[in-house]
Amino acid sequence: MIGLTTAGESHGKGLFALLEGIPAGLELDLEAIDALLAARQKGYGRGARQNIESDRAEILSGVRNRVTTGAPIAVAVWNRDFENWKGAMAPEGCDPSARSLTAVRPGHADLAGLAKFGGTDARNVLERASARETAVRVAAGEICRQYLAALGVFVAGYVRGAGEIYDAREYSFEEIGAGRSPVLGMMDKALEGKACALIDGARAAGDTLGGVAELRVKGLKAGFGSPMTYREKLDARLAMALMSVQSVKGVEVGLGFGAASRRGSEVHDEITKTAEGFARKTNRAGGIEGGMSNGEELVLRAAVKPIPTLARGLGTVDVRTGEPARAAAERSDVCAIAAAEIVLEGALCAELAAAVSERLGGDCMAQVRERYEKLR
């Protein structure tokens, strides 16, 4: 079974991933991993940290001559900014007071983390809770994407909205692959221009914006996931994976919340018989019924809240003194929805690859392909 674990701090030596269960014989496109890492650092509204880091993935184990060996794959994304922080972050010895944070920031993990782990310096909590962690998840997720692609399962996504600017048009999988803008990840250039103007206004006001990302999966056959236990339900697993990404506050599958206000006749997908088997006239369920894939495209959306670190700072309390304070404004983004969409694809690929591997097993890719081809 494929499984992913990450480690590392935002301003530590680097971010690290251990990816287990990838079968032997998967030929990797390493340049594609670095291309996605670069895409994660871009997008209109990104902050100054991206000018310091130039992320690249280093494969430390589990791959030989660009081909997986079946062993656990260790991936590192090193932090260039560690040189500026080693005096306060070095594991071998440092001065923690040099970069302590006691004016806990609203919307962050700071205060709840101190309640859980103790102390008055939120640095240890925020370093791990930081969205910087997602860099290595993108790298590991791309390996999982390539595992899925080897079976004919493909993942794509785009930014559906930023702030109050929302694109209500429906796009095909092929349109998304060919038409997503490199500026903000949107499909409609006119709406994207309005969204960029909105981001400019938020920047000038010292404020931040969130957005909505839509993800698609094409080529996944029916029967992945299970209704037999709640932990096996595919929609529950994928929702968990997307919710695990920092700042995600809501996930929809298919019609999502829209299904609650419609009648059953407007929600459920009628079934027809075809020469190949069965099909649905519509895809309002988003490709998942009863906790299982049904052979249609998976359609998921994630709502991403505005970045909680505001340039103008929000009111808070210094936990060391108990006095009112203004939250610190460390280097931050105004809007990170374009980057979040890239991260969400990686999180989706990792969990979907885990679900696929549980059903198919296989020690090498030849076995996995053969088993997938035999499925209805």
Query: What distance in Å separates the CA atoms of residue 119 and residue 148, rounded to the nearest whole number?
Result: 44
What are 300-318's pLDDT values in tens digits?
A: 999 999 999 888 889 999 9
The pLDDT value given to residue 330: 64
What are 25-74's pLDDT values in tens digits?
A: 999 999 999 999 999 999 999 876 555 668 999 999 999 999 999 999 99
Query: What distance in Å separates the CA atoms of residue 361 and residue 359, rounded to the nearest whole number?
Result: 6
What are 182-236's pLDDT values in tens digits?
A: 999 999 999 999 999 999 999 999 999 999 999 999 999 999 999 999 999 999 9
Query: What distance in Å separates the CA atoms of residue 277 and residue 252, rounded to the nearest whole number?
Result: 28
Query: What distance in Å separates the CA atoms of residue 137 and residue 354, rounded to the nearest whole number?
Result: 14
E-state strands within the chain: 3-8, 14-20, 58-61, 63-64, 67-68, 73-78, 154-162, 165-166, 211-218, 248-253, 271-273, 278-280, 288-289, 292-293, 298-304, 315-317, 324-326
CA torsion sign, 304 to 310 to 314 to 319?
A: positive
The position carrying tokens 């791959």 is: 63
User: Are the beta carbons of 288 and 355 closer than 8 angstroms?
Assistant: no
Give the predicted TM-score (pTM) of the model. Answer: 0.96
Tokens read off for 315: 């009111």
Domain ranges of the chain: 3-373
Query: What distance in Å separates the CA atoms of residue 243 and residue 238, rounded to the nearest whole number?
Result: 8
SS3 of residue 179 by DSSP: helix
Nearest partner of 345 among 226, 176, 224, judged by Cα: 176
Q: Decide yes or no: CATH 3.10.580.10 for domain 3-373.
A: no
The pLDDT value given to residue 50: 57
pLDDT band, residue 328 (cuts 50/70/90): confident
Query: What distance in Å separates the CA atoms of residue 335 and residue 102, rounded to the nearest whole number?
Result: 25
User: In angstroms, what CA-CA distances link 27 with 65, 116, 150, 181?
Assistant: 9, 43, 9, 29
Q: What is the mean pLDDT of residues 120-140?
A: 96
What are 239-287's pLDDT values in tens digits?
A: 999 999 999 999 999 999 999 999 999 999 999 998 878 889 999 999 9
The pLDDT value given to residue 159: 98
Report the chain's mean pLDDT, rounded to a whole number: 95
Tokens read off for 108: 């962050």
The pLDDT value given to residue 331: 63
Query: What distance in Å separates the CA atoms of residue 354 and residue 3, rounded to the nearest whole number?
Result: 6
The pLDDT value given to residue 276: 79
Query: What distance in Å separates the CA atoms of residue 74 and residue 63, rounded to the nearest whole number?
Result: 9
What are 187-196's pLDDT values in tens digits?
A: 999 999 999 9
Tokens read off for 273: 């018989």
User: In angstroms, what CA-CA distances link 31 with 35, 67, 185, 311, 366?
Assistant: 6, 14, 20, 35, 23
Q: What is the mean pLDDT of residues 143-152?
A: 98
Query: What distance in Å separates the CA atoms of residue 117 and residue 123, rounded to the nearest whole number?
Result: 11
The pLDDT value given to residue 54: 84
**CA 160: distance to chain centroid?**
15
